[in-house]
Amino acid sequence: MKNIFFYDTPLGSLGIVSEQDMLIRLYFPTEKTEADVILKETAILKRAGLELKQYFSGKLKAFSLPLAPKGTEFQKRVWQELCSIQYGVTTSYKEIAEKLENPLAMRAIGQANNRNPLPIFIPCHRVIGSNGKLIGYAGGLENKKLLLKLERDCSENMK
């Protein structure tokens, strides 16, 4: 059984979906949610909402939630690599391709990034173009800018 609950954030009301005490999906306000979910705040969703609140207030730098994104093995490898990008740091598709020892896979990595079902929790917003420009984000480039600014500002305040 899949459950969904919505949490107010600086990006708007985000819908988080869980299945068997694992997070499987995050929806931005502009996205249409699945039809086969039950609106119910489970313990794991409550914890996810709390961690999101702490993240947006600058108090949480790394999520500790059980994630179970659905995708291909390649996508899962990319998403795992995204989780290793430190808070407040950005990287490029090219750098991820090199870390995965597949330097020609930049487009495929971009597609995996685009299909990330758990943005923010799996920080695809930290991936930018090799030229330093912001490139695509399921939640919109304005939200990507906001997330990167939040992390940059909080990182600078920690120094």
Catalytic residue among 124, 128, 138, 150: 124
- Rounded distance between C-alpha atoms, residue 72 and residue 136, angstroms: 21
Q: Could you give the angle at which helices 73-82 and 106-114 cross, rounded to 10 degrees?
A: 80
For residue 37, the one-letter residue type is V
124 labelled catalytic? yes
Burial class of residue 47 (count of CB atoms within 10 Å of its CB; 0-12, 13-18, 19+): middle
Q: Active-site residue numbers? A: 124
